[in-house]
Amino acid sequence: MKLARFETGGRTLCGVVDGDSIKVVTDTDLRDVIMNNGAVAETGETVALGDARLLAPLKPAKNVFCVGLNYQDHITEGERAIGRKLDPQEVPIFFTKPPTSVIGPEDDVLVHQAVTTEVDWEAELAVVIGRGARNISYDDALDHVFGYTLVNDISHRDIQMKHRQWFRGKGLDGACPIGPWIVTADEIPDPQALDVLCRVNGETKQSASTAQMIFDVRTLIESLSAGLTLEPGDILATGTPNGVGFARTPPEFLKAGDVVEVEVSGVGILRNPVVNAD
C-alpha cells in the first residue's frame, strides 16, 4: 500500500495511491494511520494523481533522524575529496534535520545564495517507524518499521565543512525533501536489496544497492533506539551511497533550474526543482 498526503481543491487529504489515482481515506494525518497499524477507511472519493499536489507524507513532529557515512564507497570518495582518511566507525553516526527543513515532493529545493554556494544531493532510503519503543533489538527491529519513503539529504558542503558538526550544513530550509509517499513494509520484504539512485537533470549521479550499507536497517534501529524512544511516524534516513557532487572531479553542485530526483526501487521517485531562495 502506498500512502500519500496531498492537497487538492484547497483541502489537505490522505489516501491510498492506486495507479494514476488516489483513494481518499478518512484520516487526514498519516501518523493516525500508523498508530492504527495501517488500517484505513476509504471515503469513496477518488482524486486523480494529476489533480493532487503531493506533500511530505508526514508533517514532521520533530527532527528527522539521519545517518552519516553508511556506505564505504561514499566514505572513500569523501576521503579523496578532503585529502585525509577518516577514522573507522564502530557505531553509526547519527544527526538530525529540523522540521523546518522538510519539504514535499513537489516543493522547491532552495539555493540560499546569501549563505551557501555548495548545494549537494544525497539519495537515501528512509524508514518510517511504526510501533514505538526504546531498546529495540536487532531481531525485532523490522517489526517496528511501518514502511519506507525517500529522503534527499540536501547538504550545503561549505557550511558543513566550516561548522564541522553536520546539523547546520544539512538543516537549512528546504534541505529535506521527503516522499513521494510511504510504501508499507509488507511491500518491501528486504530493505537491504533495493537500488538507490540520484539523477540531476536526467543524468544518473548515484547508483548503488542498499545491500552496501555498512550498518543495515536493523542495526540502525537497534543502535538509535538504545535508551532513546522511537515514536510512530519517526523518520530515519539511512545514509547515501557514492556519487555526491562535492566528491566529483570537478565538484558539481545544484543550481537554480536543475531538477534533482531520488529513486529507490519499489518505493518511488522523489523529484524536486531547484530555485533560488528569496
Residues that bind Mg ion (CB under 5 A): 122, 153, 240
Nearer to Mg ion, 122 or 222 (CB): 122
The pairing of beta strand 102-103 with beta strand 176-184: parallel
In angstroms, give the least distance from the CB of 95 to Mg ion. 9
> What's the angle, vertex CA 168, arms to CA 166 and CA 169, rounded to 5?
70
Count other Cβ atoms within 10 Å, centred on residue 212. Answer: 16
In angstroms, give the least distance from the CB of 77 to Mg ion. 13
- Residue 225 neighbours by CB under 8 Å, 6+ apart: 133, 134, 135, 136, 144
Ranked by CB distance to Mg ion, the top (closest) residue is 153
In angstroms, give the least distance from the CB of 145 to Mg ion. 19
Of 222, 234, 225, 220, nearest to 128 by C-alpha is: 234
Nearer to Mg ion, 157 or 218 (CB): 157
In angstroms, give the least distance from the CB of 35 to Mg ion. 28
Nearer to Mg ion, 48 or 211 (CB): 211
Distance CA 99, CA 94 (A): 16
Distance CA 50, CA 42 (A): 19
In angstroms, give the least distance from the CB of 176 to Mg ion. 10
Nearer to Mg ion, 27 or 122 (CB): 122
Nearer to Mg ion, 184 or 242 (CB): 242
